[in-house]
Amino acid sequence: MFDIVLPALHSFASFENVGFLVLGTVIGLVFGTIPGLGGATTLALVMPMTYGMEQTPAMILAGGLMGSVAMGGSITAVLINTPGSGPSAATCLDGYPLTQQGKAGMAIGALASSTAMGSVIGVFSVLLVLPVARQLVMMFGPPEFFLLALLGLTAISISSGGKLLCGLVVGAGGLVLSFIGEDAVSGGQRYTFGSDYLWDGLPLVPTLLGLFAISEMIDLSLKGGAVAKKTETTEFAGLWEGIRASFKHWPVVLRGSIIGTLEGSIPGVGGTAASFLAYSLTVQADKHPETFGKGRIEGVIAPEAAINAKEAACLIPTLTFGIPAGLEMAVFLGMLILHGIEPGPMLLIHHSETIYALVLALCFSCLIGAVLGCVCIKPLSLITKIDVHVLVPLILAISAAGTFSIRGEPLDILLAGVFGVVGYLLRRFEYPRLPLVLALVLGPVAERSYHQSMMISDGSWSVFVQHNTSLVLISLIVLAVVLPVWRSQSRRRKAAAEFA
Amino acid sequence: MTWLASAGADPYGVAVAGNSSIKNLTDMKALGRPVKMTSTGPGSTSYVVTHIVMDVLDIPMSSISGYRGSSEYVIGAMRGDGDGTIAVVPQLLKFHESGDLKTIALLAVTAAKSPFPGVPDATVLGKPDLAKLAIRRLIGAPPNLPDDVRRILEDSLMKAMTDPETVKILQAAGSDLVPEPGNKAAAYLNESIELYTRYQKYIQE
């Protein structure tokens, strides 16, 4: 492996290339903080500027940008409950409560260190997997996608924070909402009520912005004050504690990174699923799942590790098969072609040095982004002290502009507003939001892959037990269902024994 | 529309997984059951084209649909989700060369060099009409464009498409231009409309 990586590493010995890496990282961080803008739009804006550049510097610039854009979005998720992109929404769940408790420093520290660790693990996995990417992609067909989505959906029960019935109601509602639009298999329209806007289903970014950012702005407007409670300090002694937390909870980082790598390498599930799946499996594996959503540091670490491992792993199907694993990768595919790099099975033979330089740029960008995030924490944290009368209109305007910029569709802003109200009502009446997000993200994957599996097998369920990958996933589903029940019963037995 | 130019065309090909026991269209016909073809959903070009091709070739088929794009359904065929697939040549070529896919029919009339030597084309198959399904890159303008404006645009486009630098960039990206004027573009479109009209039942699905 080193004989391939070392020449690529040599690319970074040039002052010019390091400059492009830093430039890409800064652009990614800044644009990532704008809700809805995300990596795809940023890359599309930067792509024409790379036209006259050589292949390697152009790829290093793109790698720098793609590696840091997610972190920019996660910083705003932690500080003001406003995710820059879909995957960062999972970081809101525990990151924002930490900020409200005056622990923004700790949350950003954990975010930075888990980002760096996730990225290093992701890049290392990519370097290992790229030569055998074909086999990995071939291991996941429609039956495996269905089981993977089912594994994520089992988390609805445990992510309900002790309110199982509420969680199931919200989850079922989310599934119904996820079925809106064209049925990919039959071509029929469902729940569109004659509206062309709903043909493609509910767009995820406006929905998530509404559920998290706008609902929070409604809540803040009603309560007044600032994000961080005035009686508590938003100081940054917690920064090192946060950084150390990722090392202390290394199994959470590892699990998140593995999930991110897996979901990034297999096209069809989507990036948002990776962060929410990592979060929900961390909740499931924990001894006190009821404490999540109230400011657990592991709730920041798990999705961040997954997001950054996924960023690197998304390159696997994009480069080796030309399958973009998301919108950002679709734009990147265009950039590859612009620079005369044709994705496909022969890519690593013809352009190995450029491609490995790109992979390393992704990793270095995450590391630089993490350092910059920590260095800039003091000015960044001032946002949490801004009065809501200033903060709320600002965030709402930026969210609306970001939402509109994705598709140029005014109705997306309205949709974000509607989900803002839904999100607020869920919070107000103490219904969990995570089951809704899980169902919205995983529902379409589960439905589509189930129907495909049935078409492949002529209606036989045996298709779900034919491959080793399926059997491993079934075992994980059983474990995910049984483990929390077993834990809960054993806790009850212990409590009963203590009482007796 | 006022048609200004045609930049070229990508014909379709029929392919099966590299390790499939199907070697040609005769094997496909002899399966004794409908052939399972991967494609995107109803209403999509790939779905309609797949149905038209199999109808013309008289091979009964069922669709494994729901993939979110051509790359995904081509990988589906490589993985063995279905028996085969129909995709445009540039997409098939790289996997044909790597051995992941085996192209068994080229739906084009290949006058000179075929990208798949030894693979029967639309003429050999006796179905030259299938070549009309090719994805064409047509450039158009609003209807009733004044003649002088049309001529200026048409000339400029032809000049741009034959410019050596443009040709070089596209060749580096693995894409070839075959520039043709607006009247040819309109003729190609009419041919396609005529063919698709004959098989509109698949579009209406």
Q: Give this complex's ipTM.
A: 0.88
Contacts A342 to B, Cβ<8 Å: 94, 173-174
* pLDDT tens profile B166-185: 888 777 766 778 899 999 99
Rounded Cα distance, A457 and A451, in Å: 10
Residue A4 has pLDDT above 70, yes or no: no
pLDDT, position A268 = 59
Q: A239 or A425: whose pLDDT is higher? A: A425
Q: Where would I find the H helices in A286-428?
A: 298-313, 315-321, 327-338, 347-350, 352-375, 377-381, 388-407, 410-428
The secondary element (H helix, E strand) that includes residue A385 is none
**Which CATH number is B10-133 given?**
3.40.190.10
Place of tokens 């644009």: A31
Q: A10 or B152: whose pLDDT is higher? A: B152
Task: List C-alpha distances in Å: B189 to A312, A482, B46.
Answer: 42, 60, 18
B 122-181 residues inside an 8 A Cβ radius of A:
169, 172-174
Confidence band, pLDDT 50/70/90 cuts, at residue A497: confident
DSSP A213: I
Residue B203 has pLDDT above 50, yes or no: yes
Average pLDDT over residues A381-393: 82
- Mutation for B interface: A132, A137, A179, A185, most B CBs within 10 A: A185
CA A500 centroid distance within chain: 46
Q: Which two tokens stand for residue A14?
A: 């040039």
Q: What does DSSP say about strands B2-10 and B61-64: parallel, antiparallel, or unpaired?
A: unpaired
Q: What does DSSP say about strands B2-10 and B180-181: parallel, antiparallel, or unpaired?
A: antiparallel
Exposed (0-12), middle (13-18) or buried (19+): which is B177, by Cβ within 10 Å?
middle
Q: A372 or B84: whose pLDDT is higher? A: B84
Q: What is the DSSP string of A83-140?
A: -SSTTTHHHHHHHHHHHHTT-HHHHHHHHHHHHHHHHHHHHHHHHHHGGGHHHHHHH-
Asked if B95 reaches chain A (Cβ–Cβ under 8 Å), the answer is yes
Rounded Cα distance, A282 and A293, in Å: 12
pLDDT, position A267 = 66
* pLDDT tens profile A272-284: 788 888 898 888 8
DSSP B121: B
Query: What percentage of chain A reaches a pLDDT higher than 90?
Result: 21
Q: Where would I find the H helices in A322-351?
A: 327-338, 347-350
**Contact across the interface for A455 and B65, Cβ inside 8 Å:** yes
Rounded Cα distance, A176 and A165, in Å: 17
Contacts A337 to B, Cβ<8 Å: 173-174
The secondary element (H helix, E strand) that includes residue A439 is helix A434-457
* pLDDT tens profile A33-71: 877 667 777 888 888 788 778 888 888 899 889 888 888
Rounded Cα distance, A123 and B157, in Å: 44
Place of tokens 């559920």: A211
Query: What percentage of chain A reaches a pLDDT higher than 70?
Result: 93
Exposed (0-12), middle (13-18) or buried (19+): which is A407, by Cβ within 10 Å?
middle
Distance between B179 CA and the closest CA of chain A, angstroms: 20
* pLDDT tens profile B92-139: 988 898 899 999 999 988 766 788 888 999 999 999 989 999 999 999
Q: Which two tokens stand for residue B98?
A: 């790597």
Contacts A340 to B, Cβ<8 Å: 169, 172-173
Q: How many CA atoms lie within 13 Å of A269's alpha carbon, on the beta-carbon side?
A: 35
pLDDT, position A232 = 46
A·B CB contacts under 8 A: 82
pLDDT, position A251 = 92
**What average pLDDT is seen over chain A?**
84
Task: List C-alpha distances in Å: A363 to A67, A152, A493, B174.
Answer: 7, 27, 47, 29
Rounded Cα distance, A465 and A473, in Å: 10
Residue A351 has pLDDT above 80, yes or no: no
Q: Which of A138, A340, A345 sits opposite B79 (nearest CB)?
A: A138
Residue B87 has pLDDT above 90, yes or no: yes
Q: Quick one: CA dihedral A294, A295, A297, A299, positive or negative?
A: positive
Exposed (0-12), middle (13-18) or buried (19+): which is B204, by Cβ within 10 Å?
exposed
